[in-house]
Structure 1
């Protein structure tokens, strides 16, 4: 009898906590999950490889894809609350999602309103900014002001406000892969600086060579 009661209690606890566990999956945003491939994101956004921009090719391949969600079909073509989403990939793996909300969809909403709305889906915030200080800003791009964060051991889900436009947005990323991408970006910049003079010399040489080829061709066919 005691075993049965214990089993029932465990089952009830599982039922009560399951929605919370699902709500706190910080790796998901709408139909996208951190870790999926570039190909999957292209399929879900109906875009092509030509739309993908390469930020760096060495020492790791870092790519970006910007997507503007289409208006939803309906009586008056209801607009999405999201203006655009920037997907960032590390060696073909989605590691960061940067969301910019449409300004009209957040007009009048306070930071508390936004935090409450996001918390309803992702659970209580682990951090809410009371003031913008330098220590907090070190975790974000200088163009973004932190508003609130939801974090676990693997992922960071952040509500931010643009320093330039005052638009609200989200930055969601894998902590492990984001750290690797940031390190790779630093190394890529160093490589570009080291190889810059050589590439510039090669560019100038090619320009001179191309001009000479055109000169020789035109010398043969030019008629005054």
Structure 2
């Protein structure tokens, strides 16, 4: 009897986990995918990938406009663009901008209800932001609601520039690592900036002198 009761309790406790939503996925994409895999899925090329930082970690981004892709299988209704962010070749963040025409008239509560149908109940509903005490906040995306677990975070956000809603899906650990690497890359660029500028100027001077020497021999008035 005790054994049966214990099993029943375990099943009750495990039930929410069995039905927990996978926050690492967004449509056809999964955090941790390789850059090559995302390029294949979106029918893009390496030429479309932008290198943000090359050290201490390789940070890359690729913007995809689904409506520009031929074939219904790759079209994603309601999406204007998706920005994929990679750290050392692995997808760590997906930033989705929704098509304003597809979300026209929808309230934040409407969006939260729709997203909750996929990811479960929101764990955080963003409080109202007092613009008088957060003057610099307007430069960032405004959080509306979040869905979180230990590894991943899904965030409904609003752009401060055009008031368009979007969704940011990220790996907490990988995103933190990418942010640290990006901050370190900025420091390295600042430290090495004067040296690189001196090297650039020297090369420019050397190239000009080489051209001068060549033209001195070949120029005829």
Identify the TM-score tier after normalising by the shorter chain: 0.7 to 0.9
Report if the CA contact (8 A) 1:20-1:123 is conserved.
no
| Equivalences for residues 46-65 of structure 1 within 5 A | 46-65=43-62
Matched, 1:115 2:112: yes
Match among 34, 42, 45 for residue 42 of structure 2? 45
1:20 matched to 2:19: yes
> Offset at 1:216?
2.0
Q: Secondary structure of the residue that 1:186 maps to in structure 2?
A: helix
> What secondary structure is seen at the aligned counterpart in 2 of 1:60?
coil
Tell me, in whole angstroms, the C-alpha distance in 2 between the residues paired with 1:115 and 1:168: 11
Contact preservation (8 Å) 1:132, 1:146:
no
Q: Are 1:143 and 1:164, in contact at CA under 8 Å, matched by a contact in 2? A: no
> For 1:27-54, what per-residue CA distance to the aligned partner results, in whole angstroms no more than 9, with x for missing partners?
0001100001111011111111111111
Pick the aligned partner of 1:185 from 178, 182, 185.
182
Distance 2:112 2:76 in 1: 22
- Verify: 1:97 aligned to 2:94, yes or no: yes
Runs of 4+ in 1 over 6 A off after TM superposition: 1-7
* Structure 1 residues not aligned, in runs of 5+: none
Instruction: State the Cα deviation string for residues 47-87 of structure 1 (Å, max 9, x = none).
Output: 1111111111111111111111026767xxx8731111111
TM-score, normalised by the number of residues in structure 2: 0.85
Aligned with 1:70 (options 55, 67, 70): 67
Q: Distance in 1 between matches of 2:45 and 2:211?
A: 35
Q: How many residues align?
A: 213
Tell me if 1:175 matches 2:179.
no
* Correspondent of 1:31 among 3, 28, 32: 28
